[in-house]
A and B are shown apart, each in its own frame.
Chain A
């Protein structure tokens, strides 16, 4: 049995090819491709311009992050070690970490239109071109910067925080007295047991305990029903070498000639590790005046 067309299409009021004829410069030309003969239905859903932003959209995500994203980009530093300062007023000793910025430059920008968010891609150090992949070399070459060893992105709130490509970020990007967040990988501890990794109490030294003095107790039942091990159960495993952020460290000293930034207190990771420092999100933003000065 041959398929039957609906009555509307058998005797159309207008020509059935009218949809494929596009009025262009008052002369009908034929458009190609597969097109529906029926006009699109109006949506049954609530559509319009004045509707609230849906929660799972980039617009809503940016709105949520608006208060916690820094205005300015950060910098990539290398942890060089720790030393101490003496407070001039009280004479109190302040432990501090010495960070060094080495040839930090802006490699590219990420924009809302192209990538969905605003960020500055920053690189530091130098890597021999023969040790780089061709794709990365092309990326550096297109943006006109030298090959970099470390590349990271720093998200910023809006397009005002984007720096021009190739601009150097020196130590004076940060001011003495401002607060920064330092983000780095912790020291790796290898495969660690539960007592070291999660602070479990372990088991008795004696009273019949055999060979399980430092192991966890029961992993399975009576944890809220069901005789199974729940996902996320704390067990032995690899410890350390994971990213950690130390928030609100005060910048004690800045030396732009040597690229030195000294921050109060400790920063995660061993000497020589890569530390990303950016304006602290839990403190008032630093004055933007000096930022524009250093940008000039």
Chain B
């Protein structure tokens, strides 16, 4: 391998200096096209107010009539989405108007808003369209619009029985409050009452007492010419 000494480099510089000028210029002329810079030609502007007779000489792209087309955008029709933001609520409302026209049932179970409503721990008696009554202690109230329901617990033939009742169901004829809870319960769902320690067992005695008193009162009222309306 030959060592490149500074003396040799100087000699090389001399060699290029000794080259004739004509050879150098020839090299520049032989540069490839890509390295030569050519500025982009400026587009020649069309003459303004060009007579129509000359338009045929232009390419179709440059005709004044063939400019970029404006796309017409049509306005949308009135929106039903804006008219009814919450269709599920609207459908539920229309159903409730039919099932509960006075809003009595809704008020009876809306424990968040109405103070006189049913509370958990109350003993309720429900009568159905087919005539079967069911009574029990209310363990839970589920507020879900049209699916509002409550859970009753009782004991039949010494076996614990629970029943979910839909408040707005047409099969429910009436709901009566037999006995209110003495103390406000500090739970929303009294599932602890399923445990043997807290189980209330049968509420039949309380209900039958209530029915007896009610019939007595109804008898007095009827004698007094009044009609006690059943609470719905």
Chain A residues in the interface with B (C-beta under 8 A): 78, 80-86, 88, 91, 93, 96, 98, 100-103, 105, 125-126, 129, 134, 137-138, 140-141, 144-147, 168, 171, 253, 255, 257-260, 262
Contacts of B204 in A (CB 8 A): none
The stretch of B79-87, B102-110, B133-141, B150-158 that contacts the partner chain? B79-87
Of A137, A144, A260, the residue contacting B87 (CB under 8 A) is A260
Given contacts A83-B146, A141-B73, contact A93 B166 (CB under 8 A): yes
In the assembled complex, how far is the CB of residue A190 from the closest CB belonging to chain B, in whole angstroms?
Answer: 27
List the 3 shortest-distance A-B pairs measured between CB atoms, nearest first: A259-B80, A258-B84, A146-B76
Cα-based distance from A206 to B65 in the complex (angstroms)? 82
A103 x B76 contact (CB < 8 A) = yes
Cα-based distance from A255 to B92 in the complex (angstroms)? 13
In the assembled complex, how far is the CB of residue B86 from the closest CB belonging to chain A, in whole angstroms?
Answer: 8
In the assembled complex, how far is the CB of residue B118 from the closest CB belonging to chain A, in whole angstroms?
Answer: 21
B90 x A258 contact (CB < 8 A) = yes
Contacts of A88 in B (CB 8 A): 170
Contacts of B77 in A (CB 8 A): 103, 105, 146, 168
B73 x A129 contact (CB < 8 A) = yes
14 A–B contacts, CB within 8 A, in A order: A81-B87, A83-B91, A83-B145, A85-B95, A86-B146, A86-B170, A98-B91, A100-B81, A102-B80, A105-B77, A140-B73, A144-B74, A257-B83, A257-B84
Cα-based distance from A251 to B231 in the complex (angstroms)? 36
A126 and chain B: residue at smallest CB distance: B76
A103 x B79 contact (CB < 8 A) = yes
In the assembled complex, how far is the CB of residue B76 from the closest CB belonging to chain A, in whole angstroms?
Answer: 4
A166 and chain B: residue at smallest CB distance: B74
Given contacts A84-B147, A126-B76, A140-B74, contact A91 B169 (CB under 8 A): yes
Given contacts A80-B88, A91-B171, contact A258 B83 (CB under 8 A): yes
A141 x B71 contact (CB < 8 A) = yes
B92 and chain A: residue at smallest CB distance: A83
In the assembled complex, how far is the CB of residue A21 from the closest CB belonging to chain B, in whole angstroms?
Answer: 36
A86 x B95 contact (CB < 8 A) = yes
B169 x A259 contact (CB < 8 A) = no
Contacts of B168 in A (CB 8 A): 86
Contacts of B80 in A (CB 8 A): 100-103, 171, 257-259
B90 x A260 contact (CB < 8 A) = yes
Cα-based distance from A82 to B91 in the complex (angstroms)? 10
A86 x B76 contact (CB < 8 A) = no
Of A91, A105, A140, A171, the residue contacting B129 (CB under 8 A) is A91
A102 x B166 contact (CB < 8 A) = no
Select the residue from A84, A138, A255, A262 with max chain B CB neighbours within 10 A.
A84
Contacts of A144 in B (CB 8 A): 74
B72 x A141 contact (CB < 8 A) = yes
In the assembled complex, how far is the CB of residue B72 from the closest CB belonging to chain A, in whole angstroms?
Answer: 5
A126 x B147 contact (CB < 8 A) = no
Given contacts A88-B170, A137-B71, contact A80 B87 (CB under 8 A): yes
A100 and chain B: residue at smallest CB distance: B87
In addition to A80-B87, A259-B84, A260-B87, 12 A-B residue pairs with Cβ atoms within 8 Å of each other are A83-B145, A86-B99, A88-B170, A98-B87, A100-B84, A125-B81, A145-B74, A146-B76, A147-B76, A257-B84, A258-B84, A259-B81
B79 x A126 contact (CB < 8 A) = yes
Asked whether B6 is an interface residue with its Cβ less than 8 Å from the other chain, the reply is no
The proximity string for B residues 204-228 relative to A, scoring 1 for CB distances below 8 Å and 0 otherwise, is 0000000000000000000000000
The proximity string for B residues 169-204 relative to A, scoring 1 for CB distances below 8 Å and 0 otherwise, is 111000000000000000000000000000000000
Given contacts A100-B84, A105-B77, A260-B91, contact A86 B169 (CB under 8 A): yes
